[in-house]
Amino acid sequence: MANVKMSDMRAVGYCRRGVKVFLESHGFDWKTFINEGVPEELLAATGDAQALKVVDYVREQNGQQ
C-alpha cells in the first residue's frame, strides 16, 4: 500500500488549506502528512468521498485498480 502525499492531493485538485483542515479534523497529524504522507487505507477508512477520490488516484497511479 502506498502513502498519499500532498502532490497526490494537488493532482486531483485539492488545495493545501482544505487538505490541512480535512486531515486535522480526522485526527491526522499535518507535519507527519507533509513529511511522510498518510497510508491510503487510513485515508479510505474515513469514508469521505474526496478522500476516496485521491485514494483511487493513488491506486491507479500504482497500478492497483
Residue 54 has pLDDT above 90, yes or no: yes
Fill in the DSSP letter of residue 45. Answer: T
| Domain ranges within the chain, ordered by starting residue | 1-25
- CB atoms inside a 10 Å sphere around CB 8: 21
Average pLDDT for 36-63: 95
Q: Between vectors from CA 27 to CA 42 and to CA 59, what angle results, nearest 5°?
A: 25
Query: Does the model's pTM come out above 0.85?
Result: yes
1-48 pLDDT, tens per residue? 799 999 999 999 999 999 999 999 999 999 999 999 999 999 999 999
Cell numbers for 19, please give them.
Answer: 487538505
| Residue with the three cell numbers 480526522 | 26
Task: Give the Cα separation of 30 and 60 in Å (integer).
Answer: 24
38 phi/psi in degrees, rounded to 5:
-130, 135
